[in-house]
Amino acid sequence: MQAGVTYPFRMPPVRMSQLLGSTLREAPAGAETPGYRLLLRGAFVRQLGQGIFSYLPLGWRVVRRIEQVLREEMDAVGGVELQMPLVHPADVWRRSGRYESMGPEMVRFRDRRDRAHVLAMAHEEVVATLAASEIQSWRQLPKLVYQIQLKFRDDPRPRAGLLRMRELTMKDAYSLDRDAAGLGVQYDRIHGAYLEIFRRCGLPVVPVAAGTGMMGGIEAHELMYLSPVGEDIVVLCDSCGCARNRRVAAAAAVSVAHEDPLPVERVHTPDATTIDALADLLGIPPERTAKALFVSTSDGRFAVAVVRGDTQLNEAKLASALGAAELRPMTADEMQRVGAVPGYASPVGLTGRAVVVVDDLAARSPNLVAGANEAGFHLRNVNVGRDFQPDEVTDLVAVDAGQPCVVCGCPVRTERAVEVGKIFKLGTRYAGLGATYLAEDGTEQPVVVGSYGIGVDRLMACVAEEHHDDRGLVWPASIAPFAAHVCALGAEGLEAAAPVADALAAIHIDVLLDDRDERPGVQFADAELIGCPVRVTLSKRSIAAGGAEVELRSDGSRTGEIVALGEVAAWVRAHVPQR
């Protein structure tokens, strides 16, 4: 959708003296990224608690602009807006099985009647419940609904301001279809809408294949903003275009030379508690070693993962193999309970129960050196299947830059990235909540569901990371807090600025009028910090020169051209897209 919103009413100028919030010359200590520092300095947001923020008037206007883009694009693909509650009865989540599988990031509480509730992290359960009550026949499908709603996740490590929050605003959408083919049509349509949303917001993104995680389902993709501030890592192949989140990126097969299994040999390896130390002591390359990592799952199981010493474990792959929501390292006491010795641990000779998952490459590699579960000793010539039995053999390793692409064999590259959107084919994952319909042949069939999310706060934060310079933010016109920032310098400037701002408002251009009794340097610095697309300056000097000085923030210059007062509105309209 190309056209922006057209306001059918006149918006009076907003005066800076009316705004709550003052700009800052320096960001508070602890602000981690350039964009976040500028959002703080520009008086867009203020932190109330860890991962919890207030939006000041400037920031809230950006949020509302983003929401307008989201609504327009979702409406364009047939979406209908609704609103679902933030507080859910726990029973709804119990029926889906996610109440027990969720970790402490889900906030659980009881009301005054001792009934269990949760704060919404997501709304799949509620949508499935609505489908169960509102959808009876195949004639009522397909449907596409969306909302812009608060979520709360008690994230243990909120960071980088709005990039990782506890209280956040999401645009989440849900498609309801008769079958997988219908889901595929809506999935592709919304994927295209998401690309258009990010284009309109001025944020470059890369779609990558992803895991389904806590949502479940059969397929997922993420829209990634490539940036060094990101926590995710994506694996990209420039030759064939293959793009995946590193959490699910498959490692290319590596050939292993055949060797006959040799007898196990116990060797003294004092102080060799790391792979590098072990390899140096024995004079062998790391690929001749086995690395064991002992973990506990969120549902209380013990597990050990084995990878070859020259590779790194991908914890997301391990969690998927175990069907666990999250993992943590075993404590020393837990390792002792299963018979493992820290620094010298392996699955060989364990006395307690632990699920053993072995990477495919390690399983195919013969005669490895592994821990003896005895302080100061390792075992030579350990072979998977002979010396210990795995419960599962699968791909467990993280893909690194330079490794061959699994599709075309060319070297891949890795980039840090921020997930700004994610889409899921959930399929019939939530049919157990009663989301069924009567098909044409009279049989009862499950409603096929898709789920699609964009984090509004994170999108704003990423645009700030992408669009700034050393003087401040440079907002894309589509989501800037105001289209024009009018600086009124001195009494003569203020007298002339008021009718200019009114003329801009009369043609539906929203205006921020700096009516403060501040020095020109202060007004200009604040205008550059706030980053509206156009700055209009009225002063005794500009009026003497024939009108107002106008300039585009994106130009990066500090001098503009003089435009007659009666022509300022037309100049701004010509240089700022309708929104």
Do you find a cis peptide bond into 347, omega within 30 degrees of 0? no
Task: Enter the DSSP assignment of 159.
Answer: B
pLDDT band at 4 (very low <50, low <70, confident <90, very high): very low
pLDDT band at 101 (very low <50, low <70, confident <90, very high): confident
Flag whether 37 is in a domain: no
Q: Quote the tokens at residue 485.
A: 């920032």
In this structure, are residues 136 and 437 in contact, taking their beta carbons and an 8 Å threshold? yes
What is the predicted pLDDT for the residue at 2? Answer: 39
Domain that holds residue 314: 265-394
Which has more confidence, 432 or 128?
128
Kindly tell me if the per-residue pLDDT of 108 is higher than 70. yes
In this structure, are residues 189 and 76 in contact, taking their beta carbons and an 8 Å threshold? no
Per residue in 242-281, pLDDT tens? 999 998 898 888 889 999 999 999 999 999 999 999 999 9
Q: Quote the tokens at residue 335.
A: 């390792």
Tell me the C-alpha distance between 519 and 516, whole Å.
9
Nearest to 205 by CA among 213, 215, 194: 194
Sheet with 327-329, strands from edge to edge, namely 327-329, 290-297, 302-308, 355-359, 392-394
Are residue 291 and residue 368 in the same domain, yes or no?
Answer: yes
Tell me the C-alpha distance between 274 and 266, whole Å.
17
């053993």: which residue's tokens? 356
What is the predicted pLDDT for the residue at 431? Answer: 85
- Compute φ and ψ for 244, nearest 5 degrees: -145, 150
What is the predicted pLDDT for the residue at 29? Answer: 84
Kindly tell me if the per-residue pLDDT of 216 is higher than 70. no
Which domain CATH number covers 378?
Answer: 3.90.960.10
Are residue 383 and residue 311 in the same domain, yes or no?
Answer: yes
Q: Is 322 helix (H, G, I), strand (E, B) or coil?
A: helix
pLDDT band at 212 (very low <50, low <70, confident <90, very high): confident
Nearest to 449 by CA among 90, 144, 11: 144
Are residue 201 and residue 70 in the same domain, yes or no?
Answer: yes
Kindly tell me if the per-residue pLDDT of 87 is higher than 50. yes
Please compute the mean of the pLDDT values over residues 291-297 and round it to a whole number.
94
Biggest distance spanned by C-alpha atoms of the chain? 96
Which has more confidence, 61 or 298?
61
Which domain CATH number covers 523?
Answer: 3.40.50.800
Are residue 135 and residue 198 in the same domain, yes or no?
Answer: yes
pLDDT band at 34 (very low <50, low <70, confident <90, very high): very high
What is the predicted pLDDT for the residue at 1? Answer: 38
Flag whether 32 is in a domain: no
Kindly tell me if the per-residue pLDDT of 9 is higher than 60. no
Which domain CATH number covers 201?
Answer: 3.30.930.10
Flag whether 5 is in a domain: no
Name beta bridge partners: 445: 437
Helix (H) / strand (E) element for 305: namely: strand 302-308
State the amino acid at position 428 in one-letter form.
T
Are residue 95 and residue 155 in the same domain, yes or no?
Answer: yes
Lowest mean pLDDT among 78-92, 161-175, 318-332: 318-332
Q: Quote the tokens at residue 264.
A: 């196990």
For the chain, percent helix, then strand, then coil, each to nearest 5? 30, 30, 40
Are residue 79 and residue 179 in the same domain, yes or no?
Answer: yes
- Which residues touch 45 (CB under 8 Å, ≥6 apart)? 39, 53, 54, 55, 56, 59, 161, 162
Kindly tell me if the per-residue pLDDT of 8 is higher than 60. no
Are residue 387 and residue 442 in the same domain, yes or no?
Answer: no
What is the predicted pLDDT for the residue at 102? Answer: 83
Arithmetic mean of pLDDT over the chain: 92
Flag whether 243 is in a domain: no
Per residue in 542-551, pLDDT tens? 999 989 999 9
Kindly tell me if the per-residue pLDDT of 72 is higher than 90. yes
Are residue 67 and residue 204 in the same domain, yes or no?
Answer: yes
Flag whether 25 is in a domain: no
Kindly tell me if the per-residue pLDDT of 218 is higher than 90. no
Kindly tell me if the per-residue pLDDT of 125 is higher than 80. yes
Please compute the mean of the pLDDT values over residues 55-81 and round it to a whole number.
97
Flag whether 38 is in a domain: no
Flag whether 19 is in a domain: no
Beta strand extents in 194-289 (DSSP E only): 206-210, 219-226, 232-236, 243-245, 265-268
What is the predicted pLDDT for the residue at 432? Answer: 85
What is the predicted pLDDT for the residue at 5? Answer: 41
Are residue 277 and residue 156 in the same domain, yes or no?
Answer: no
Complete DSSP assignment for 437-494: EE-TTS-EEEPEEEEEEEEHHHHHHHHHHHSEETTEE---TTT-S-SEEEEE-HHHHH
pLDDT band at 3 (very low <50, low <70, confident <90, very high): very low
Domain boundary (344, 378, 394) is at: 394
What is the predicted pLDDT for the residue at 556? Answer: 67
Are residue 289 and residue 387 in the same domain, yes or no?
Answer: yes
Flag whether 240 is in a domain: no
Lowest mean pLDDT among 209-218, 433-442, 445-454, 527-536: 209-218
Please compute the mean of the pLDDT values over residues 312-336 and round it to a whole number.
90
Per residue in 344-390, pLDDT tens? 999 999 998 999 999 999 999 999 999 999 999 999 999 999 999 99
Provide the domain count of the chain. Answer: 3
Nearest to 275 by CA among 225, 220, 345: 345
Per residue in 459-497, pLDDT tens? 999 999 999 999 999 999 999 999 999 999 999 999 999
Are residue 330 and residue 437 in the same domain, yes or no?
Answer: no
Burial degree of 270 (CB within 10 A; 0-12, 13-18, 19+): exposed
pLDDT band at 288 (very low <50, low <70, confident <90, very high): very high
Are residue 50 and residue 178 in the same domain, yes or no?
Answer: yes
In this structure, are residues 387 and 373 in contact, taking their beta carbons and an 8 Å threshold? no
